[in-house]
A and B are shown apart, each in its own frame.
Chain A
């Protein structure tokens, strides 16, 4: 039963892929609800379907069946443009491989979502500065990604995800390409953002210790099915 604080609700979501005659069911009838301000960790081994579920909740992909409702709007029923707008205005994304555009400087990368959202040029500068300040990279704004360490690149990617002030932050294995120290720093940052901004964070990871340490709640997937869903603290 949806409550007032309910932000995301996946209802019997399935996602199938066709490989010739074979049908692969990556997500199989998963139902999941995420409340405003939660830090949810989607835990599972490789191929469990956690990234597929995250992609659908982030509006990058559509379910084959079922519904994903964000603030009562079913993402499956949105047009391509409406989904793009959802990604632009409601969602911030952080990826395992950072995905900063190598040709742009850090500040240009962070500015990109603001360009897409057609934010005024003067506002952009202050918001980019604010986002970089938050992740501690204000001094590296003119550097290109190749001139930054892995941890710095991921913090830069985080600044880019935050610059549009999204309601939900999706992180797909954000520590996957980082050493333990940098990985911990990123998760500390995520946690701080959740606390200070009241942002909802959904993170995909296969590292149970990190999930247990930083997330409020862990939902575990295996073979495309939700096998456990429980609060941590």
Chain B
């Protein structure tokens, strides 16, 4: 029998026992819905976690330190490598070189220093960190009081709330106020003959001049108070309590620990950075960029392995959710078997007539298969819609709950197109498997006995 005729007959047969077949199809739909709802929750949570982690800048970043930097995170250097021999400093040239590597979107230095903050007669020592403009999209500043820096070079500051509490009892009132930073500025040593002679006597003749450390003050406008500690750890915002735009921080020329090292190595005119953060296009580009940086002779560190572990955890999580979701579909498949076996008993005579008219065993089998497949298809489509609704309801409920807790809403359920297609395909396959036994039983019916059946 042609496929079109087979489909027409199958749909006609399903329509005839509409209540029973609808209930069976509904069973499949509920099974698929439970599967889709479970997996959409898994996918949604994974997407949410990935987005948050990506926005945190930890998984698409490579942290670079110099071979001679003993403070930063290090990896063992292969014996006899070029890097070890050269031990280059992380200066502006290197920064430019790294920014030209493929798939690198941004390279910025870690500008971090200890400062004395003065506000309304109070003086507090704390740590300051320069933030690149890309931190604006970091989830760390979501829900902050005030706003992010108005421009990458603004004389503005964002305070961590715990630090703000040290300055006033009403931290939000600080927004719009000015504070004063006292810091140590690094400058070139003045060309004084006596100083040159002193240096020569200390360091040996022929070494270039030294550096000067001068106390300075600058006034910054407080634009935001962040409740969360954006300190994400390794090489990130870690530990600072006052944040400035990175360019503003750079323009202050604050003395860095490496300045002393540069001075001792004899090149004080060319400041170097403690560490550079290299942002890449996507987390998958991290290994390639990391390898390229290592080739240049620097020490790198990334959280790629942690990201891999996270993916593994979510894969196992999805597997379990899928297994629980599949249980309902398995129960539904028993419903299909039951419905079709009942249909064979009821339609025994019809099967006999079809065979008497020349239907092959294959025609009869295909007809029952088509009916099972149609129930799977309709159940699958309806189930995906139902699963999506359940997922949306979960997201809706969660968002309401989070809003009541003064937290931003999140989308915890997500039905990607591949999940919808796979769920429908899975429903059809399960239905066809469920139809195997009834269909082969119907095909095996002896036409003479079937025609005798009343």
Contacts and interface: CB of A to CB of B under 8 A. Distances in A.
B360 A84 contact: yes
B358 A116 contact: yes
B363 A116 contact: yes
A11 interface: no
Interface residues of A, number: 26
Interface string B336-369: 0000000000000110111111111111000000
B1 A116 contact: yes
Interface stretch (A29-37, A86-94, A173-181, A224-232): A86-94
Interface stretch (A2-10, A95-103, A193-201, A204-212): A95-103
Given A101-B350, A101-B353, A116-B1, A61 B358 contact: no
A21 interface: no
Contacts of A55: 448
A116 B357 contact: yes
Interface in A27-62: 55, 58, 60-61
Contacts of A85: 358, 360
Contacts of B5: 115, 118
B447 A60 contact: yes
A81 interface: yes
B357 A80 contact: no
A89 B358 contact: yes
Nearest to B359: A116
A41 B12 CA distance: 38
A115 B353 CA distance: 14
A80 B361 contact: yes
A156 interface: no
A203 B194 CA distance: 136
B357 A160 contact: yes
A112 interface: yes
A101 B349 CA distance: 9
A80 B362 CA distance: 10
A61 B354 CA distance: 15
Contacts of B13: 103
B451 interface: yes
Nearest to A98: B353
A84 B443 CA distance: 12
A60 B356 contact: yes
Interface residues of B, number: 25
Nearest to B356: A93
B357 A95 contact: no
Contact of B451 (A84, A95, A116, A160): A95
A98 to B, nearest CB: 10
B85 interface: no
A55 to B, nearest CB: 5
B447 A93 contact: no
Given A80-B360, A84-B360, A103-B16, A60 B448 contact: yes
Contacts of B446: 61
A99 B453 CA distance: 11
A89 B357 CA distance: 9
Contact of B1 (A91, A95, A118): A118
A117 interface: yes
Nearest to A55: B448
Contacts of B447: 60-61
B122 interface: no
Contacts of A61: 446-448
A113 interface: yes
15 contacts: A55-B448, A58-B356, A61-B446, A80-B361, A87-B357, A87-B358, A88-B358, A93-B356, A93-B357, A99-B353, A115-B5, A115-B9, A118-B2, A118-B5, A160-B357
